[in-house]
Structures are given as structure tokens and as C-alpha cells.
Amino acid sequence: MQTDVTMAEDCSHLLDEAAWNQVLSSLDEGVHVVDEHGRTLLYNDTASSLDGLEPEEVVGRNIFTVFPSLTLENSTLMRTVQSGEPLENVLQSFINRRGEEITTVNSTVPLELSDGSRGALEISRDITLLQELVDDVSNLRRCLGEHRVRSGAMPGSDQAEECVENNTSYTFSDLKGRDEKFRAVIEEAIRAASSDSTVMIRGETGTGKELVAQGIHNASPRSDSPFIAQNCAALPRDLLEGLLFGTEKGGFTGARSRPGLFEQACGGTILLDEIDALDYDLQAKLLRVVQESRVRRIGSQEEKKIDVRILATMNSEPEQAFAEERLREDLYYRLAVVSLKLPPLRRRRDDIPLLIDHFVNTFNAEFDRRLAGFSPGLRERLKNHHWPGNVRELKHFVEACFNLCRGEKGITWHNLPHQLREKLEQQEKMPDWREKIDRDELPPLQDFLAGIERDLIAEALSRAEGNISAAARELEISRQSLQYKLDKYDLR
């Protein structure tokens, strides 16, 4: 947790006690500060609301008196006071004074007080609703699995019914495209489907990574069993750890006995989306699960054997994730026994008209319409657009056009979303590089190439709306290389 605070020394007197209290009261997080004896020095309104206590019941009193269930071992504040070490993102569930069950994520840091003694500051974020949602989804998944076992349900011959039965929506037949590189990736995925090897699916956002993962599952011998997908960037570390591996009563304050996703996916497939967003330390625990095919719930001493095929996805290049310490190399290579990389839509432009027709047919059926689609000229203009959001963006674009059509037989330029019309017009105004050449006297090669490079970088940065990582992906260079060139051409 970042605790550095910068304040202009000559202005610090402007923040008196009343101002500080106003700042603390406006925070959505609970703030609790104690001294080395456990006496509360500061306790803001949000902490008061979480605990169901009035500030005057807490401030100036020992926390063990106010919270009798706390001990030196389970109090994160006192553990930090004694050890002098911070604690980050610790999950805690408790019953407050009003009898409500509250779940928080706490981060605690040591403090040195003005008299030189030790203290500790804790910031608590209320994630009760998020925890309840996770519990509900987890319970629903488990109940569906139990119902499937009890009923002996087997997928029918209808493809859509099969997909509903195992929690998926797509098969390989839903992946449209004739581009050679795209088809080569799909063929590799089809061949890999018959084994139990781990698969890493890479590609930019919107290229269809989860569709490929569902296709692998539905073409595999595990297709009758569950397919469970979990986004690793969606939840705090401790909440995600409990969701993946399960919890045992007593594992942490307020923990219940509950199987994790690896247990719930038994016999089937689990997809770990955005694996490079998983907490770095938690990746070591995941590596052991992958290697040993065993999982240990939080708070349990018992390991359970699991039978799960693991698929993973990531948006960035592995080398970049390694350098930025977002992904362990040993975990990556263990997950990438089969490695698939989906090309972005701008690298398979001939597939754009095919996909447009596919989505037109899809939304005609969904909206009960009979739109003829796009004119040949408009289709060609759309084919030359760069589509940074890839196939997902193209699908949402066609859907938007259906919403903007009122009585027309087909989709015209005026039915396009205003923002895309502007982008297409701007793109088509870009000068042809040949116009930069003086026919009478050729420019120095290095100067000419530098000018092109500068213009390309400026255009990529504009398309990415200033996002350097996105611009680097568009140009297919590393972020570090792009940062160097931005300084070189004074484009920041």
C-alpha cells in the first residue's frame, strides 16, 4: 500500500484538525490508527459505520476492550505494531455490533508516532457485496454441477443445448474467418483439443480468446463436464485465492468451508483469463496446483486430487510481462505447453467483409429485421479501418448500426455511429507517403524514414487516445522502445 504523502511545507498549516477530520470523513475506506499499546488514536466515520460503533466508543480505548474477539495473533493492527512489517490486502469477515456480517480487505502499515513510539495505520475497504456475489455465483455453479450429476444429464444432439449444459456458448464452428494465419491457429487448437495439456491463448483484447477456449473444451473428451472461466483481474487477491482454491472454516476470520473453482470444475476445464493480472505471489501457489494436480483449501491441511484441464489467456507479450514482473516465467512455460496466438483483425483484413455479413445475419435474426447490410463501397471503407477493439468492436459496431437504422432497407454512411464516421474521415485524410517525395530531388533516406516513423507514431498514439501500451501494440514494438522514440521525436 502506498503511504507516501507530499505536502507543501509552507501550506501545511492550512490543514487544521477540522480540515483533517473532514478529509478522513469523506473517505470511502475505514481508517483506524493505534499506538503500541493498542489504544485507538484515530477512527473515521467509515470505520465506525463498518463496525457498528460510534467513534467515541472506540477512540482513546484499547482495541481488545472494544473488540473482545481480537487477540494479539489475529489483530492485524497489533501484528503490524509488533513486527514493524506491513500487511497488504488481508481478507477479514466479522459480525459487527448491529449483527451484520461484514467482509473487508485490510492493508496495515507501521507508523512512527511523534514521540518516537510505534503505531499502526489500517485502511479497510468494504467488499461485503462483492463477497456475497462471489458466494452466490460459486454456490450456483456448485448446485448446477450437483444437479447434473443427480439427473445424469447428458448433452443432447442439438449444439446449442450442449453448450448450455456445460456452461459454454461457442464451438469452433462459430469462429469465422478464412485468413491463413487465423485458420492455422484454429487448426492447432482443434488438434490440441483431444489432449489434456495446458494451453496458453494470447492475443489482443477482442480477438476471440475465450471463444477459442470454449471451442477447445467442446471439441475435447471433457465436453460433457463443466467449463468454468474466471477473470484474474476481476477480484482482490485474497478473495480470488479463496474462490480458486476454496476455503475451510477457520482459515481466516469468518471463513466458511467451500470448494473452489478447481474442485467445482472437476472432470472439466477451467479458463484463467488475464493470467498475468493474477497476484505475483499467488502465481506460485497456482504453479504447484498445475504441477501436482492437487489443491489445498485456505485453512486446510488436506490436499485434494483434482482432474481439471487448465487453459489460460493473456493480452500482452510474455517477455513484457516477465520484465514488468507481472508473470512468473516458470508458470508461463508450464501453462504454455500448447501456445496459440490469435492475429488482430487489422492483420486479417480480408475477413472483415465476411465477419460483417455474419454479424448482419446474426442481428437480423435477433432483432427480427431484414436489413440488406452495407453497400460495397462502405464495406471497403470499413475493411480499411484499423479496428483496435478487434472482432468484439466490429460486432458492437454492427449492432450499433442496427439500432441507428429506422426504416432503411440497408445500412448507409449516415447510419454509422458519429464517432466512427469521424475516425474513418480522419484516417482517409492521412497523406500518401509518396506525396512527401520531391520528384526533382530525393530527400536523404534517413531523414525521410525518420519523418515517416514520427508520423506513424503520432498516428498510433492518436488512435490509442494517448495510451502508450496500446500504441506500442498497434506498431508491434515494445513499450520501452516506443517511450524512447516519443522522447526522440518530442511527441510526449
Domain CATH number, residue 369 = 1.10.8.60
The answer on 227 and 166 residing in a single domain is yes
The answer on 407 and 366 residing in a single domain is yes
Predicted confidence (pLDDT) per residue in 18-74, tens digit: 666 677 777 788 999 999 999 999 999 888 888 888 888 999 999 988 888 778 888
Average confidence (pLDDT) over 442-466: 82
The answer on 253 and 375 residing in a single domain is no
Q: Is 246 exposed, middle or buried (0-12, 13-18, 19+ CB in 10 A)?
A: buried
pLDDT score for 335: 97
Q: For residue 474, what is the domain's CATH number?
A: 1.10.10.60
The answer on 361 and 265 residing in a single domain is no
pLDDT value at 486 more than 70: yes
pLDDT score for 161: 44
Alpha-carbon distance 94 to 175, whole Å? 47
Position 373 in a domain: yes
Q: Which tops the pLDDT comparison, 5 or 100?
A: 100
DSSP 115-129: TS-EEEEEEEEE-HH
Angle separating helix axes 468-475 and 479-488, nearest 10 degrees: 100
pLDDT exceeding 70 applies to what percent of the chain?
A: 83
pLDDT score for 441: 66
The answer on 285 and 188 residing in a single domain is yes
The answer on 308 and 192 residing in a single domain is yes
CA angle 53, 54, 58 (to 5 degrees): 80
Average confidence (pLDDT) over 277-297: 94
The answer on 391 and 326 residing in a single domain is no
Position 11 in a domain: no
Alpha-carbon distance 117 to 35, whole Å? 8
Domain count, the chain: 4
The answer on 277 and 153 residing in a single domain is yes
The answer on 352 and 226 residing in a single domain is no
Alpha-carbon distance 248 to 242, whole Å? 9
Q: Which tops the pLDDT comparison, 272 or 259?
A: 272
The answer on 309 and 164 residing in a single domain is yes
pLDDT score for 14: 55
Predicted confidence (pLDDT) per residue in 246-256, tens digit: 888 765 555 57
Position 367 in a domain: yes
- At residue 296 the predicted structure's pLDDT band, cuts being 50, 70 and 90, is very high
Alpha-carbon distance 182 to 344, whole Å? 9
Predicted confidence (pLDDT) per residue in 146-205, tens digit: 545 444 443 333 444 445 456 788 999 999 999 999 999 999 999 999 999 999 999 999
Predicted confidence (pLDDT) per residue in 338-375, tens digit: 999 999 998 999 999 999 999 999 999 999 999 999 98
Position 10 in a domain: no
Position 356 in a domain: yes
Alpha-carbon distance 232 to 234, whole Å? 6
| Among the ranges given (67-71, 379-383, 426-430), the one the predictor scored with the smallest mean pLDDT | 426-430
- At residue 426 the predicted structure's pLDDT band, cuts being 50, 70 and 90, is confident
Average confidence (pLDDT) over 217-227: 95
Alpha-carbon distance 483 to 492, whole Å? 9
pLDDT score for 158: 42
- What is the pLDDT of the chain when averaged over all its residues? 84
| Among the ranges given (19-23, 81-85, 195-199, 459-463), the one the predictor scored with the smallest mean pLDDT | 19-23
Tell me which amino acid residue 69 is: S
The answer on 375 and 260 residing in a single domain is no
Alpha-carbon distance 128 to 276, whole Å? 26
pLDDT value at 273 more than 90: yes
Final residue belonging to a domain, choices 60, 95, 126: 126
3-state secondary structure at position 486: helix
pLDDT value at 332 more than 90: yes
Q: DSSP assignment, residue 454? A: H
Q: By residue range, what is the domain housing residue 416?
A: 348-428
3-state secondary structure at position 257: coil
What cell numbers appear for 476 in the block?
508491434
Alpha-carbon distance 216 to 170, whole Å? 10
Position 331 in a domain: yes
Alpha-carbon distance 185 to 183, whole Å? 5
Final residue belonging to a domain, choices 299, 323, 341: 341
Residue 172 contacts residue 223 (beta carbons within 8 Å): no
pLDDT score for 3: 42
pLDDT score for 248: 85
Residue 230 contacts residue 277 (beta carbons within 8 Å): no
pLDDT score for 294: 95
Q: Tell me the pTM.
A: 0.66
Position 286 in a domain: yes
Rg (CA), the chain: 28
Position 312 in a domain: yes
Highest mean pLDDT among 93-107, 128-142, 166-180, 435-449: 166-180
Q: For residue 153, what is the domain's CATH number?
A: 3.40.50.300
| Among the ranges given (2-11, 268-277, 284-293), the one the predictor scored with the smallest mean pLDDT | 2-11
Q: Which residues contact 1 (CB under 8 A, 6 or more apart)?
A: 86, 88, 107, 109, 123
Q: Which residue has the cell 489460460?
A: 312
Alpha-carbon distance 479 to 327, whole Å? 17
| Among the ranges given (107-116, 152-161, 458-467), the one the predictor scored with the smallest mean pLDDT | 152-161
Tell me which amino acid residue 241 is: E
The answer on 147 and 106 residing in a single domain is no
Q: For residue 40, what is the domain's CATH number?
A: 3.30.450.20
| Among the ranges given (82-86, 128-132, 161-165, 368-372), the one the predictor scored with the smallest mean pLDDT | 161-165
